């Protein structure tokens, strides 16, 4: 059984992430969406909220699970008996950082491979930060996130009660 890990901050999950999950779920037996628990990185949503939003978005996928992880990604990957990390690439600007991440992980754990999936062109401009910015100015985010996430963002920014 092949288990793959899709790690990230997911603050919050966007349609760009969901597109990667959709495609990654088809090339692996089990896909674990792993949410980084990192106190240093200031996130808008709590871990529980981020997991709740991802679980809502992937509820129809039978082979996708959602978990949190802390510490080194490679240790988590080992613990799960996985050896594939999935990352999305939106544009060439993502490449340098992703290369560094993948090479470091490979140095730390030689049996690991990172598979890069090109984000659908439709979502290539999308990021959680951009979505938060638009939501903070009460812009329309319905094309970027699920209705559930849009509602949660509305609540955060005092748009919806
Ligand atoms: O969605 P993001 O913020 O781009 O995801 C980054 C993530 C979570 C994949 C990366 O920060 C990570 O793996 N952090 C865990 C710590 C770690 O293993 N660092 C060493 C690899 S450079």
Model confidence pLDDT, tens digit, residues 18-37 = 999 999 999 999 999 999 99
Alpha-carbon distance of 100 to 146, in angstroms, equals 31
- Averaged pLDDT, 87-98: 92
C-beta of 118 in contact with ligand 1 (< 6 A):
no
Helix (H) or strand (E) holding 85: strand 84-89
pTM, to two decimals: 0.96
Burial of 22 (0-12, 13-18, 19+ CB in 10 A): middle
129 is catalytic: no
What would you measure as the largest C-alpha separation in the chain, in angstroms? 49
> Cα(161) to centroid of ligand 1, in Å?
33
C-beta of 89 in contact with ligand 1 (< 6 A):
no
- Averaged pLDDT, 119-144: 95
**pLDDT given for residue 93 in this prediction:** 87
C-beta of 9 in contact with ligand 1 (< 6 A):
yes
41 is catalytic: yes
Helix (H) or strand (E) holding 68: strand 64-69
68 is catalytic: no
132 is catalytic: no
State the virtual CA torsion across 75, 76, 77, 79 in degrees, nearest 10. Answer: 90
Which DSSP category does 122 fall into? G
Letter string b/e over residues 81-106, b meaning 16 or more CB atoms within 10 A of that residue's CB: ebbbbbbbebeeebeeebeeebeebe
Task: Exactly one of 4, 87, 128, 152 is catalytic; name it.
Answer: 128
Instruction: Give per-residue pLDDT as tens, 32-47.
Output: 999 999 776 689 999 9
């Amino acid at each position: 059984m092949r288990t793959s890990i899709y790690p990230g901050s997911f603050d919050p999950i966007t349609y760009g992430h969901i597109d990667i999950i959709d495609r990654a779920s088809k090339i692996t037996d089990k896909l674990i969406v792993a949410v980084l628990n990192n106190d240093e990185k200031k996130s808008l949503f709590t871990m529980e909220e981020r997991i709740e939003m991802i679980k809502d978005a992937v509820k129809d996928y039978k082979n996708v699970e959602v978990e949190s992880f802390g510490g080194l990604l490679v240790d988590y990957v080992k613990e799960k008996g996985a050896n594939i990390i999935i990352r999305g690439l939106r544009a060439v600007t993502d490449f340098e950082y992703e290369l560094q991440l993948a090479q470091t992980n490979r140095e730390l754990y030689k049996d690991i491979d990172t598979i890069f999936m090109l984000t659908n062109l439709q979502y290539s401009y999308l990021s959680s930060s951009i979505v938060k910015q638009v939501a903070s100015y009460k812009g329309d985010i319905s094309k970027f996130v699920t209705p559930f996430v849009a509602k949660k963002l509305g609540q955060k920014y005092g748009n919806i009660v």
